[in-house]
């Protein structure tokens, strides 16, 4: 498989994941906000976190669609999935109450399955970053992230 095709498949998987997750959270916003409020780590910030997480997920999905912003989008995807994985690890190890604030099908996963799922996406993000970065180095033109 060509390098570009692999990056496009990885980007597509992230787009699917982030759009689905954001839509699930926004369609049942009240439930999502309550669940965020029940988190021992996020209670004080639940109001704005309940809006900012889906907004960031949608923004990253848009970045992945636009070739010029794909590499920053892959970095953002990798970072988000790393943070979500770290959150699960912290909640599982240091909290008595473990609320699930994921939407849709993701909410039906056990915490262990969810962590494995997230870690797989962390590795997909890293793979995408490596492949997309190496493409930038082999290109004759310098990579431009911002329109001129």
Nearest in space to 93 (alpha carbons), one of 112, 79, 107: 112
- Measured CA to CA, the distance from residue 3 to residue 138 in angstroms comes to 12
Q: What is the pLDDT of residue 96?
A: 72
For residue 91, what pLDDT is reported?
82
Confidence of residue 7 (pLDDT cuts 50, 70, 90): very high
> Residue 125: pLDDT above 60?
yes
The Cβ of residue 61 has, within 10 Å, a number of other Cβ atoms equal to 22
Residue 43 has pLDDT above 60, yes or no: yes
Give the span between the Cα atoms of 119 and 111, in whole angstroms.
12
Q: Are 71 and 8 in contact (CB under 8 A)?
A: no
Separation CA 77–CA 56 (nearest Å): 10
48 versus 77: the higher-pLDDT residue is: 77
Residue 148 has pLDDT above 60, yes or no: no
pLDDT reported for residue 54: 94
Structure tokens belonging to residue 46: 């639940």
Dihedral class, residue 104 (left if φ above 0, else alpha if ψ from -120 to 50, else beta): left
Rg (CA), the chain: 17
pLDDT given at position 59: 98
């Amino acid at each position: 498989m060509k390098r570009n095709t692999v990056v496009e498949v990885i980007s597509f998987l992230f787009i699917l994941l982030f759009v689905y997750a954001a839509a699930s959270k926004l369609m049942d916003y009240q439930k999502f906000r309550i669940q965020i409020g029940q988190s021992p780590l996020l209670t004080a910030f639940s109001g704005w976190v309940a809006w900012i997480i889906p907004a960031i997920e949608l923004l990253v999905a848009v970045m992945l669609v636009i070739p010029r912003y794909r590499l920053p989008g892959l970095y953002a995807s990798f970072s988000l999935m790393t943070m979500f994985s770290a959150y699960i690890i912290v909640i599982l190890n240091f909290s008595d109450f473990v609320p699930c604030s994921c939407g849709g099908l993701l909410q039906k996963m056990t915490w262990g399955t969810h962590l494995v799922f997230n870690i797989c996406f962390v590795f997909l993000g890293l793979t995408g970053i490596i492949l997309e970065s190496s493409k930038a180095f082999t290109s004759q033109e310098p990579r431009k992230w911002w329109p001129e």
